[in-house]
């Protein structure tokens, strides 16, 4: 199955009034696990590498990108590759020649005018280089170890009128919206503001993206897809699965030293988690 593009997968999902799931990958084991799960379920999938995952690799995008491209090309289901939460414009420019089809440019922490200026610049560059660009307005909390934003904090919710203006001013292809989810949650009890999602879906002419989906319970996730979310970003759930399985493996075999044994346990746990999440997203009622 050829490597496909995020733009195509999101457009197909939106046309079906459904969503494509996008999973953050840190290691080769994540890449293998997500693709194995997608093949099990028979669903397309987006693999995302975040700027933080690139920092973990001493700032080098190309080694993990090359591995992900190779694995995606061998996959039995369509796989697209996406660079996630990029703030560094130099890293944004590296994506053009590494097989990724899309980028999420994250200027949500900036005041509105600065967010618009930086995102418009990123979108123009992305489009000139054949890339699909996602951006964020209102800030989904919980990034970089910071706690979730209070629901009433400025920017904790995306305001529909401002979002409409932002989309016109920046020319982005998809918008991440702040509607109650938060990054890095290890419990699944986020409450989505469905009325706000409906208002955003009504007034915005582009696909909407849900970030911080690990903390969103299955039913809320399905309701969010029903309400207009076309791309569902999931990362922490994979970390919980991998770390829990490796911890259990090492606890049960404290003298073991072969990394293949505990990495296999971690990879399998990620596969199992991704299978469940793909089924949850695929089973969302159609809008
Ligand atoms: O962009 C990535 C996602 O928003 C992941 O969030 O780690 O809370 O699932 P999560
Ligand atoms: Zn995110």
Domains of the chain, residue spans:
6-282
What are the b/e assignments for 168-195, b being 16+ CB within 10 Å?
Answer: ebbbbbbbbbbbbbbbbbeeeebebbbe
pLDDT at 217: 98
pTM assigned to the model: 0.97
The CATH fold assigned to 6-282 is TIM Barrel (3.20.20)
pLDDT tens-digit series, residues 23-67 = 999 999 999 999 999 999 999 999 999 999 999 999 999 999 999
Does the Cβ of 273 fall within 6 Å of ligand 1? Answer: no
84 labelled catalytic: yes
pLDDT > 90 in the chain, percent: 91
Rounded Cα–Cα distance for residues 95 and 159 (Å): 30
- The atom of ligand 1 lying closest to the CA of 214 is 9
pLDDT bin (cut points 50, 70, 90) of residue 79 is very high
- Locate the ligand 1 atom nearest the alpha carbon of residue 24 and give its number: 2
pLDDT of residue 2: 77
Per residue in 194-232, pLDDT (tens digit) is 999 999 999 999 999 999 999 999 999 999 999 999 999
125-167 residue pLDDT tens: 999 999 999 999 998 988 888 877 777 777 789 999 999 999 9
């Amino acid at each position: 199955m050829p490597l496909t593009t995020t733009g195509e997968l999101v457009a197909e999902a939106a046309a079906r009034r459904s969503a494509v799931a996008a999973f953050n990958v840190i290691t080769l084991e994540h890449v293998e696990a997500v693709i194995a799960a997608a093949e099990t379920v028979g669903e397309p999938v987006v693999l995302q590498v975040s700027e933080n995952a690139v920092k973990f690799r001493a700032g080098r995008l190309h080694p993990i990108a090359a591995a992900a491209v190779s694995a995606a090309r061998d996959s039995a289901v369509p796989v697209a590759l996406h660079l996630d939460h990029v703030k560094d414009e130099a890293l944004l420019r590296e994506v053009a020649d590494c097989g990724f089809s899309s980028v999420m440019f994250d200027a949500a922490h900036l005041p509105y005018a600065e967010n618009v200026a930086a995102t418009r610049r990123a979108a123009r560059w992305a489009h000139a280089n054949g890339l699909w660009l996602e951006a964020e307005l209102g800030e989904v909390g919980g990034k970089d170890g910071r706690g979730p934003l209070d629901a009433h904090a400025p920017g904790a919710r995306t305001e529909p009128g401002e979002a409409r203006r932002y989309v016109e001013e920046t020319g982005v292809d998809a918008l991440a919206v702040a509607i109650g989810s938060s990054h890095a949650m290890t419990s699944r009890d986020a409450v989505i503001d469905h009325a706000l999602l409906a208002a955003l879906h009504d007034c915005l002419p582009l696909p909407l993206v849900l970030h911080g989906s690990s903390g969103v319970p299955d039913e809320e996730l399905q309701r969010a897809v029903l309400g207009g979310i076309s791309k569902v970003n999931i990362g922490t759930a994979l970390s919980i699965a991998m770390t829990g399985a490796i911890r259990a493996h090492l606890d049960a075999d404290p003298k073991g030293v072969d990394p293949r044994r505990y990495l296999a346990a971690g990879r399998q746990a990620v596969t199992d988690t991704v299978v469940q999440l793909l089924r949850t997203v695929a089973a969302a009622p159609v809008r």
